[in-house]
Amino acid sequence: MSTGPLDRDDLRQRVQKSLSAFVAGQLPALDAVSEELSPLTDALSDMIAGGKRLRPAFCYWGFRGAGGQDSDGIVTASAALELFQACALIHDDVMDGSDTRRGLPAVHRRFATLHRSESWFGDPETFGMGAAVLLGDLCLSWSDEMLSTSDLPAERLLEGHRVYDQMRTELMGGQYLDLLEQARGGGSVERALRVARYKSAKYTIEKPLHLGAVLAGADQDVLDGYSGYGVPLGEAFQLRDDVLGVFGDPSVTGKPAGDDLREGKRTALVAMALETADRGQAAVVRRHLGDPHLSLDGVEQLREVIEQTGALRRVEALIDQLMDTSLSALQTAPVQEPAREVLQQLAVAATARRL
pLDDT of 75 strictly over 90? yes
Residue-wise over 301-318: b if at least 16 C-beta within 10 A, else e?
bbbebbeebebbebbeeb
Partners of residue 237 on adjacent β-strands: none
Q: Which domains does the chain carry?
A: 5-351 (1.10.600.10)
Q: State percent of the chain over pLDDT 90.
A: 79
Interval 292-326: pLDDT, tens:
888 999 999 999 999 999 999 999 999 999 999 99
pLDDT of 260 strictly over 90? no
**Closest to 64 in 3D by CA, of 9, 142, 11, 5:** 11
Half-sphere exposure of 51 (CA within 13 A, CB side): 27
Interval 213-236: pLDDT, tens:
999 999 999 999 999 999 999 999
Over residues 86-104, the mean pLDDT reads 89
Over residues 314-341, the mean pLDDT reads 96
pLDDT of 263 strictly over 90? no
